[in-house]
């Protein structure tokens, strides 16, 4: 693939990708199964700073990942090119690599299972027609809105417009043939409020499939509010209390918890939910669904990464664990059918079982009502150290937090440099309130306001 | 046993240029044809092998090839960037065209555009005429492409065996091997034409143990900028046993305390403390935008006098080492804090140009698809004079951290977290009960000023640093040290 401005681009479309993938899959020898995953992406990134463009990147990229399964052994190879010669080399490498795997009767590729993919419109033509000047204008305007939006805003270190248009095709020698295309764009901006030594950062963003979905006003207002309301933040006193998590934090926590719903983690004894189907794992108010057919979800897609039609999977119903998400291999290992939940990082990695569109069934109260109901506690605006402090195997949960104390049902004194801790198991059974304010955010899970009791705050 | 030596290998080993000097000169000239202050080509060819064992099976051996170039054009305050996987002159010209069009597309938003042939044009001629060099950052004694894939897989079995024999409670083991060979080249309008050839090797083991109180995990990794010879002086079985020991120890662990405690960090525990407490805050891009607590503090006491902090990309074979950085500047040893006094920030080309100084060799990028920015290489605290045992004995009560996981910092406030993966209680100057994983939280300048004991047993640990969506390999190092007070985020009374 070549840089922006070249002739080889998105125009060639899905048929071309399907043809390339089919071309590789068709080369399967007797006793061999081949899967080819081919993709193309076009991306733009604009960063504005002090009324000007600081950087602007534009890229076209493409690549192919090929799996070969022979005698229960899988080999994989990938290359950042769709060139016919490179595809052939990649297939040869994948074949050679297969000879080093340990034979495993469960290792196989997906086969069509009769479920038809719904039509999900994830492609916004408006984005492909959007001119570069317009993208630049949006980033600069976003920066200006934050800079001029509040006298306490001292710096706007980044104001970004980014978009991506992706096409992918997966074809196997076992009859799978699936192609998808999608667009996405987002605005994100960070504001620094306050004087040196007492500054705070707030980040705001807005996401959508096309430019019409974006709200720079909301992104700007969010960044300003989140930075300014922390001014004067102090450490808080250690103790046990109710924590009200912001929707963005809840999305992050659900994203980590999703690892425990992975059929692969379960079959390999690496999930805190292993062996607990049918048991009460959460309060009765908790229902968790992974539904990639929900078009509002950032991870929505008509097919999973192995080319099976996406479907809605109920994971926890009224607090009782219902099941897990499986790709083809983990499903075989568990003796069940795939739930069409294969995910992959791109053409350079192989599919694994995972959630794409996790959400908590909403409750009846909005954020304000939850604060009133909680009365006293801590509102957590953002967390740090999620990758180092939340363990989906042991369930240990300890994260850095900034936010505001909740006093008399309202946000009060801002707080920084504290941690909140518990275990995932205890948190699921200590839910105080689930918000009605569901928000689909970038990532694999929706967020909403969530109040959890019995959390330990560590401060002074 | 077959050994696949594909086309990738021959070109990676050929020692030639990814882009010929005359082609580079023409592409740079084209990038600046319609104005601009600076243009650069970054080309790379990367070939890697990964192998993964899990659940008692080698699940996958994978190989991948990434080859391409990015062209950067700077016009005033604006940078344009485009990349291509086509390394022919035509492909690079298209990228140059796109990058320069991008840099100028922000009509009305660009100030100080330098149009026409300046010293830059001369520079590009020089690029064509100078004697180009392709140094090798650290010669791999055992080149991964000359090691049979079967030998790489064998390491995983050794790790699996060792971890499983560490105790009956070990219920799951995974082990991963990865190597990468990267040839890169940087040519720019200032006449630079340099390359680097880097070989990296990594192996990790991850263990799950199951006890009455549930499951616990343990992890250990080695990662060096060296070839397969790494395994001649690093025992894979020992690494796996260490990972298993961590998981097993935590089966009987009690919840970590909650509140402010003295913390002793063992040598080799990670060094992530300094990476987060001040490393990121000393990156010139954060400084330029007032997004760091260290703005305007050069020459001031920002840490305990026991703290001398260095970032050193030349450290032989370490994970964050490089021959030249991704802007073609030689890796360097930079003292950031000397005896507690802030001496310098870390710089890339763009930030350094604005300040009229030279880059410190900290311009790095994840791949040719990314713009470079200021990044750490190997960041470490220099040795002190105490004995580690002495520090421990002198700590009546606190937490001993034997191994850290990751961390994260908000450079604006300086508040940072770092997580433990192996920690113990200190009672009466002795290590006692194991603790469950928790994050610690502190404020950079405050924690730096509270370093009150430093031993002389320095060691390095590899890590992956993420910033603005880009990941690069880094090293972190420190001797055993004590911080007089840090908040630990457990659930038990402190």
Structure-model confidence comparison of residues B241 and B274, the more confident one: B241
CB contact under 8 A, A201 and B415: no
CB contact under 8 A, A53 and B412: no
Count other Cβ atoms within 10 Å, centred on residue B76: 19
Q: In Å, how far is A289's CA from the nearest CA of chain B? A: 25
How far apart (Å, rounded) are the C-alpha atoms in residues B326 and B369?
A: 12
Q: How many residues does chain B have?
A: 494
Residue of B6, B80, B280, B489 to mutate for A, most A C-beta atoms under 10 A: B489
CB contact under 8 A, B439 and A419: yes
* Predicted pLDDT at A6: 32
How far apart (Å, rounded) are the C-alpha atoms in residues B146 and A381?
A: 52
For residues A115 and A81, membership in a common domain is answered with yes
pLDDT band at A12 (very low <50, low <70, confident <90, very high): low
Residue B342 has pLDDT above 70, yes or no: yes
CA B166, chain centre distance (Å) = 31
For residues B40-66, give the mean pLDDT. 95
For residues A133 and A247, membership in a common domain is answered with no
Per the domain annotation, does A302 fall within a domain? no
For residues A221 and A72, membership in a common domain is answered with yes
| CB half-sphere exposure, B69, CA atoms < 13 A | 33
For residues A454 and A377, membership in a common domain is answered with yes
Per the domain annotation, does A397 fall within a domain? yes
Per the domain annotation, does A341 fall within a domain? no
How far apart (Å, rounded) are the C-alpha atoms in residues B249 and B138?
A: 37
Tokens coding A290: 């992974």
For residues A85 and A177, membership in a common domain is answered with yes
Q: How far is CA B447 from CA A101, B105, B319, B399, in A?
A: 48, 46, 26, 15
For residue range A209-226, what is the model confidence (pLDDT) as tens digits? 999 999 999 999 999 999
* Predicted pLDDT at A215: 96
Residue A214 belongs to domain spanning: 10-226
Per the domain annotation, does A66 fall within a domain? yes
CB contact under 8 A, A4 and B258: no
Q: In Å, how far is B353's CA from the nearest CA of chain A? A: 15
CB contact under 8 A, A55 and B210: no
How far apart (Å, rounded) are the C-alpha atoms in residues B355 and B349?
A: 10
The answer to whether residues A419 and B257 touch, using CB atoms and an 8 Å cutoff, is no
Tokens 């405690």 -> residue = B261
For residues A125 and A244, membership in a common domain is answered with no
3-state secondary structure of A290: strand
Query: If DSSP states are collapsed to H, E and C, what string results for chain B?
Result: CCCCCCHHHHHHHCCCCCCCHHHHHHHHHHHCCCCCCEEEEEEEEEEEEEEEEECCEEEEEEEEEEEEEEEEEEECCEEEEEEECCCCHHHHHHHHHHHHHHHHHCCCCCCCCCCCCCHHHHHHHHHHHCCCECCCCCCCCCCHHHCCHHHHHHHHHHHHHHHHCCCCCEEEEEEEEEEEEEEEEEEECCCCEEEEEEEEEEEEEEEEEEECCEEEEEEEEEEECCCCCHHHHCCHHHHHHHHHHHHHHHHCCECCEEEEEEEEECCCCCCHHHHHHHHHHHEHHHHHCCCCCCCCCCCCECCCCCCCEEEECCCCCCCCCCCECCCCCECCEEEEEECCEECCCECCHHHHHHCCCCCCCCEECCCCCCCCEECCCEEEECCCCECHHHHHHCCCEEEEEEEEEEEEEECCCCEEEEEEEEEEEEECCEEEEEECCCEEEEEHHHHHHCEEEEECCCEEEEEEEEECCEEEEEEEEECCEEEEEEEEECCEEC
B21-31 helix and B119-129 helix, angle to the nearest 10 degrees: 170
Closest residue in B to A4 (Cα) is B98
How far apart (Å, rounded) are the C-alpha atoms in residues B8 and A96?
A: 15
Q: In Å, how far is B385's CA from the nearest CA of chain A? A: 31
Residue of A63, A394, A420 to mutate for B, most B C-beta atoms under 10 A: A394
Question: Of A418, A357, A428, which Cα lies nearest the Cα of A392?
Answer: A428
Phi, psi for residue B350 in degrees, rounded to 5: -65, -45
Q: Is the ipTM of this complex over 0.85?
A: yes
Structure-model confidence comparison of residues B427 and B10, the more confident one: B427
CB contact under 8 A, A201 and B410: yes
CB contact under 8 A, B106 and A460: no
Number of structural domains in chain A? 2
For residues A189 and A249, membership in a common domain is answered with no
The answer to whether residues B343 and B282 touch, using CB atoms and an 8 Å cutoff, is no
For residues A140 and A246, membership in a common domain is answered with no
How far apart (Å, rounded) are the C-alpha atoms in residues A218 and A190?
A: 13
How far apart (Å, rounded) are the C-alpha atoms in residues B82 and A3?
A: 6
CB contact under 8 A, B419 and A388: yes
Q: Classify residue B104 as exposed, middle or buried by CB count within 10 Å of its CB (0-12, 13-18, 19+).
A: buried
Supply the mean pLDDT for chain A. 94
Query: Cβ contacts (< 8 Å) between A272 and chain B: which residues?
Result: 214-215
How far apart (Å, rounded) are the C-alpha atoms in residues B218 and B172?
A: 11
Q: Residue A66: which H helix or E strand, with range? A: strand A52-70
Per the domain annotation, does A313 fall within a domain? no
Query: Within an 8 Å CB–CB cutoff, is residue A199 touching chain B?
Result: yes
Supply the mean pLDDT for chain B. 88
Residue A397, strand partner residues = A390, A422
* Predicted pLDDT at A342: 98
Phi, psi for residue B153 in degrees, rounded to 5: -65, -35
Query: Within an 8 Å CB–CB cutoff, is residue A322 touching chain B?
Result: no
Closest residue in A to B446 (Cα) is A417
For residues A202 and A249, membership in a common domain is answered with no
Residue A58, strand partner residues = A44, B82
Tokens coding B142: 């055992």
For residues A215 and A243, membership in a common domain is answered with no
CB contact under 8 A, A3 and B71: yes
CB contact under 8 A, B487 and A389: no
The residue from A191, A208, A226 where one domain ends is: A226
Query: Within an 8 Å CB–CB cutoff, is residue A203 touching chain B?
Result: no
Tokens coding A299: 């991870």
pLDDT band at B139 (very low <50, low <70, confident <90, very high): low
* Predicted pLDDT at B123: 27
Q: How far is CA A174 from CA A22, A331, A355, B82, B170, in A?
A: 11, 17, 24, 38, 37
Q: How far is CA A263 from CA A234, A304, A326, A349, A403, in A?
A: 43, 15, 5, 18, 35
Residue B95 has pLDDT above 50, yes or no: yes
For residues A159 and A246, membership in a common domain is answered with no
CB contact under 8 A, A97 and B371: no
Q: How many residues does chain A have?
A: 460
Tokens coding A64: 């192919």
Closest residue in B to A135 (Cα) is B106
For residues B96-120, give the mean pLDDT. 52
Between A156-160, A198-202, B218-222, B489-493, the lowest mean confidence (pLDDT) is in B489-493
For residues A245 and A182, membership in a common domain is answered with no
Q: In Å, how far is A119's CA from the nearest CA of chain B? A: 32
How far apart (Å, rounded) are the C-alpha atoms in residues A440 and B477?
A: 40
Across the interface, of A192, A268, A398, the residue whose CB is closest to B55 is A268
Query: Within an 8 Å CB–CB cutoff, is residue A400 touching chain B?
Result: yes
The answer to whether residues A180 and A302 touch, using CB atoms and an 8 Å cutoff, is yes
pLDDT band at B13 (very low <50, low <70, confident <90, very high): very low
Count other Cβ atoms within 10 Å, centred on residue B494: 16
The residue from A208, A226, A244 where one domain ends is: A226
Q: Residue A257: which H helix or E strand, with range? A: helix A247-257
3-state secondary structure of A83: coil
Residue of A238, A419, A442 to mutate for B, most B C-beta atoms under 10 A: A419
Residue B111 has pLDDT above 80, yes or no: no
- Please give the interface size between A and B, counted as residue pairs whose CB atoms are below 8 Å apart: 314
3-state secondary structure of A44: strand
Residue A60, strand partner residues = A42
Residue of B93, B413, B490 to mutate for A, most A C-beta atoms under 10 A: B413
Query: Cβ contacts (< 8 Å) between A52 and chain B: which residues?
Result: 76-78, 106, 109-111
CB contact under 8 A, B6 and A155: no
Closest residue in B to A78 (Cα) is B64
The residue from A209, A226, A243 where one domain ends is: A226
CB contact under 8 A, B412 and A200: yes
Query: Within an 8 Å CB–CB cutoff, is residue A79 touching chain B?
Result: yes
Per the domain annotation, does A211 fall within a domain? yes
* Predicted pLDDT at B77: 87
How far apart (Å, rounded) are the C-alpha atoms in residues B455 and B395?
A: 14
Closest residue in B to A329 (Cα) is B59
CB contact under 8 A, B210 and A269: yes
Per the domain annotation, does A315 fall within a domain? no
Our CA dihedral for B409, B365, B308, B476, rounded to 10 degrees, sits at 70
Across the interface, of B7, B97, B106, the residue whose CB is closest to A5 is B97
Tokens 């190997």 -> residue = B378
- DSSP letter for A453, please: E
Closest residue in A to B86 (Cα) is A2
Q: Classify residue A232 as exposed, middle or buried by CB count within 10 Å of its CB (0-12, 13-18, 19+).
A: exposed
Residue B4 has pLDDT above 60, yes or no: no
Query: Cβ contacts (< 8 Å) between A55 and chain B: which residues?
Result: 78-81, 371
Q: In Å, how far is A160's CA from the nearest CA of chain B? A: 11
For residue range A376-434, what is the model confidence (pLDDT) as tens digits? 999 999 999 998 899 999 999 999 999 999 999 999 999 999 999 999 999 999 999 99
* Predicted pLDDT at B132: 41
Query: Within an 8 Å CB–CB cutoff, is residue A368 touching chain B?
Result: no
Closest residue in A to B367 (Cα) is A80
The answer to whether residues A46 and A161 touch, using CB atoms and an 8 Å cutoff, is yes
Q: What angle do CA A310, A311, A314 make, to 5 degrees?
A: 140
Q: Classify residue A279 as exposed, middle or buried by CB count within 10 Å of its CB (0-12, 13-18, 19+).
A: exposed
Q: How far apart are the first and last CA of chain B?
A: 57
Query: Within an 8 Å CB–CB cutoff, is residue A92 touching chain B?
Result: yes
Residue B105 has pLDDT above 90, yes or no: no
Per the domain annotation, does A345 fall within a domain? no
For residue range B276-293, what is the model confidence (pLDDT) as tens digits? 889 999 999 999 999 999
Q: Classify residue A129 as exposed, middle or buried by CB count within 10 Å of its CB (0-12, 13-18, 19+).
A: exposed
Domains of chain B (ranges; CATH) run 7-250 (3.30.2290.10), 257-493 (no CATH)
Across the interface, of B172, B259, B413, the residue whose CB is closest to A268 is B172
**β-pair type (B415-427, B430-435):** antiparallel
Query: Within an 8 Å CB–CB cutoff, is residue A434 touching chain B?
Result: no
CB within 8 Å of chain B, chain A residues 335-364: 348, 350
Closest residue in A to B368 (Cα) is A59
For residue range A263-317, what is the model confidence (pLDDT) as tens digits? 999 999 999 999 999 999 999 999 999 999 999 999 999 999 999 999 999 999 9
């Amino acid at each position: 693939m070549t840089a922006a401005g070249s002739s080889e681009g998105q125009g060639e479309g899905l048929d071309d990708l399907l043809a390339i993938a089919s071309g590789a899959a068709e080369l399967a020898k007797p006793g061999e199964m081949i899967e080819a995953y081919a993709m193309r992406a076009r991306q733009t990134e604009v960063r504005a700073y002090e009324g000007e463009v600081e950087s602007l990147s534009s890229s076209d990229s493409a690549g192919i990942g090929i799996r070969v399964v022979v005698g229960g052994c899988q080999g994989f190879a990938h290359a950042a090119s769709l060139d016919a010669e490179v595809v052939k080399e990649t297939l040869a490498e994948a074949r050679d690599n297969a000879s080093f795997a340990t034979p495993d009767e469960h290792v196989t590729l997906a086969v069509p299972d009769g479920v038809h993919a719904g039509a999900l419109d994830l492609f916004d033509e408006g984005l492909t027609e959007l001119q570069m000047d317009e993208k630049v204008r949006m980033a600069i305007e976003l920066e200006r809105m934050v800079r001029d939006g509040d006298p306490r805003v001292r710096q706007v270190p980044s104001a970004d417009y980014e978009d991506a248009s992706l096409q992918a095709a997966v074809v196997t020698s076992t009859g799978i043939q699936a192609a998808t295309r999608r667009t996405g764009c987002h605005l994100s901006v960070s504001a620094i409020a306050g004087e040196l030594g007492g500054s705070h950062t707030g980040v705001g963003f807005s996401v959508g499939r096309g430019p019409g979905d974006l709200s720079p006003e909301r992104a700007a207002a969010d960044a300003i509010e989140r930075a300014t309301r922390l001014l004067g933040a102090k450490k808080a006193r250690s103790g046990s209390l109710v924590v009200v998590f912001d929707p963005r934090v809840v999305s992050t926590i659900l994203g980590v918890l999703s690892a425990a719903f992975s059929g692969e983690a379960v079959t390999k004894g690496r999930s805190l939910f292993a062996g607990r189907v049918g048991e009460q794992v959460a309060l009765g108010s908790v229902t968790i669904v992974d539904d990639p057919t929900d078009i509002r979800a950032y991870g929505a897609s008509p097919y999973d990464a192995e080319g099976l039609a996406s479907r809605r999977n109920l994971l926890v119903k009224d607090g009782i664990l219902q099941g897990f998400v499986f790709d083809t291999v983990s499903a075989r290992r568990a003796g069940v059918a795939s739930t069409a939940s294969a995910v992959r990082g791109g053409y350079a990695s192989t599919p694994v079982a995972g959630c794409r569109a996790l959400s908590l069934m909403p409750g009846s109260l909005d954020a304000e009502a939850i604060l009133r109901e909680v009365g006293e506690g801590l509102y957590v605006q953002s967390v740090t150290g999620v990758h180092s402090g939340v363990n989906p195997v042991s369930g240990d949960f300890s994260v850095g937090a900034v936010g505001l104390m909740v006093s008399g049902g309202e946000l009060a004194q801002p707080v920084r440099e504290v941690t909140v801790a518990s275990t995932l198991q205890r948190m699921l059974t200590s839910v105080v309130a689930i918000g009605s304010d569901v928000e689909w955010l970038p990532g694999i899970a929706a967020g909403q306001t969530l109040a959890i009791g019995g959390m330990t705050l560590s401060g002074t | 046993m077959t050994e696949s030596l594909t086309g990738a290998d021959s070109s990676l080993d050929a020692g030639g240029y990814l882009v010929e000097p005359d082609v580079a000169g023409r592409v740079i000239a084209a990038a600046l044809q319609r104005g601009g202050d600076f243009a650069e080509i970054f080309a790379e060819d990367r070939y890697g092998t990964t192998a993964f064992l899990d659940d008692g099976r080698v699940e996958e051996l994978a190989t991948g090839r990434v080859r391409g170039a990015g062209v950067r054009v700077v016009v005033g305050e604006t940078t344009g960037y485009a990349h291509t996987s086509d390394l022919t002159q035509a492909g690079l010209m298209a990228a140059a065209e796109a990058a320069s069009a991008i840099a100028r597309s922000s009509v009305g938003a660009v100030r100080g555009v330098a149009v026409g042939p300046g010293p830059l044009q001369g520079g590009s001629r020089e690029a064509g005429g100078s004697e180009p060099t392709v140094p090798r950052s650290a010669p791999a004694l055992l080149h991964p492409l000359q090691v049979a894939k079967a030998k790489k897989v064998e390491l995983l079995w050794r790790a699996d065996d060792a971890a499983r024999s560490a105790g009956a409670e070990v219920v799951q083991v995974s082990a991963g091997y990865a190597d990468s060979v990267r040839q890169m080249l940087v040519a720019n309008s200032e006449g630079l034409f340099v390359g680097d050839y880097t070989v990296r090797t990594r192996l990790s083991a991850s263990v799950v143990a199951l006890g009455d109180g549930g499951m616990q995990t343990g992890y250990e990794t080695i990662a060096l900028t060296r070839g397969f010879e790494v395994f001649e002086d690093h025992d894979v079985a020992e690494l796996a046993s260490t990972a298993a020991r961590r998981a097993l120890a935590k089966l009987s662990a009690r919840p970590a305390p909650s509140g402010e405690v003295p913390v002793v960090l063992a040598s080799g525990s990670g060094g992530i403390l300094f990476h987060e407490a001040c490393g990121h805050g000393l990156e010139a891009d954060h400084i330029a935008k007032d997004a760091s607590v260290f703005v305007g503090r050069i020459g001031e006491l920002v840490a305990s006098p026991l703290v001398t902090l260095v970032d050193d990309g030349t450290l032989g074979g370490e994970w964050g080492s490089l021959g030249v950085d991704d802007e073609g500047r030689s890796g360097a040893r930079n003292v950031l804090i000397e005896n507690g006094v802030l001496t310098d920030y870390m710089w890339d080309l763009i930030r350094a140009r604005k300040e009229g100084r030279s880059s410190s060799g900290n311009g790095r990028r994840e791949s040719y698809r990314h713009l470079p920015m200021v990044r750490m290489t190997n960041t470490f605290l220099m040795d002190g004079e105490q004995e580690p045992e002495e520090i421990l004995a002198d700590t009546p009560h606190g937490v001993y951290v034997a191994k850290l996981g990751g961390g994260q910092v908000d450079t604006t406030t300086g508040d940072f977290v770092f997580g433990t993966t192996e920690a113990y209680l200190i009672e009466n100057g002795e290590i006692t009960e194991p603790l469950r994983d928790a994050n610690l939280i502190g404020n950079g300048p405050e924690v730096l000023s509270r370093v009150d004991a430093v031993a002389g047993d320095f060691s390095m640990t590899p890590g992956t640093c993420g910033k603005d969506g880009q990941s690069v390999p880094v090293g972190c190092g420190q001797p055993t040290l004590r911080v007089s007070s840090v908040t630990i985020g457990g659930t038990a009374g402190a």
